[in-house]
Amino acid sequence: MTTFDGREKAFEDKFAHDEAMLFKARARRNRLFGEWLAGELGITGDAVKDYAASVVKADLEEDGDEDVIRKVMKDIEEKGADISRHRVEKHLEEMFAVAKVQLMQEA
């Protein structure tokens, strides 16, 4: 194996690791966000975990956050809650930062 091959493999390994961490951070963000939103929507007990899982699952539909936002905005409308799209987007950002910190602390 040449030096170039070693560098290429290291780069590929780092890329794979970074993508895996990003996936985990997004899933954690969605769970944390789902738990927060469940509280805002008056969901309690075991239903909180189920709701958070549904938010995580919604993120697997397409790239980006639009699938999650579309799902939760529909839920917010159905519950008649007064939560704006801007607040949803802002809280998603905040939960992403929290999720990354939590994952780094676990590593």
Task: For residue 53, give every residue at least 6 positions away whose Cβ sits within 8 Å of its Cβ, in sequence order, or none.
Answer: 31, 34
Instruction: Residue 55: give the domain boundaries.
Output: 3-106
Q: Provide the number of structural domains found in the chain.
A: 1
Alpha-carbon distance 22 to 76, whole Å? Answer: 27
- Comparing 2-6, 57-61, 103-107, which segment has the lowest mean pLDDT? 2-6
Nearest-angstrom CA–CA distance, 1 and 75: 55
In this predicted model, what pLDDT tens digit does every residue of 46-72 receive, in sequence order? 999 999 999 999 998 888 899 999 999
Say yes or no to pLDDT of 85 above 90.
yes
Neighbours of 92 (CB within 10 A): 21
Quick: pLDDT tens for 21-53. 999 999 999 999 999 999 999 999 999 999 999
User: What pTM was estimated for this model as a whole?
Assistant: 0.86
For residue 40, the domain's CATH number is 1.10.790.20
Element (H or E) spanning 37, and its range?
Answer: helix 3-40
Q: What are phi and psi of 62, to 5 degrees?
A: -155, 165
C-alpha pair distances (Å), 92 with each of 11, 14, 53, 106: 30, 26, 15, 21
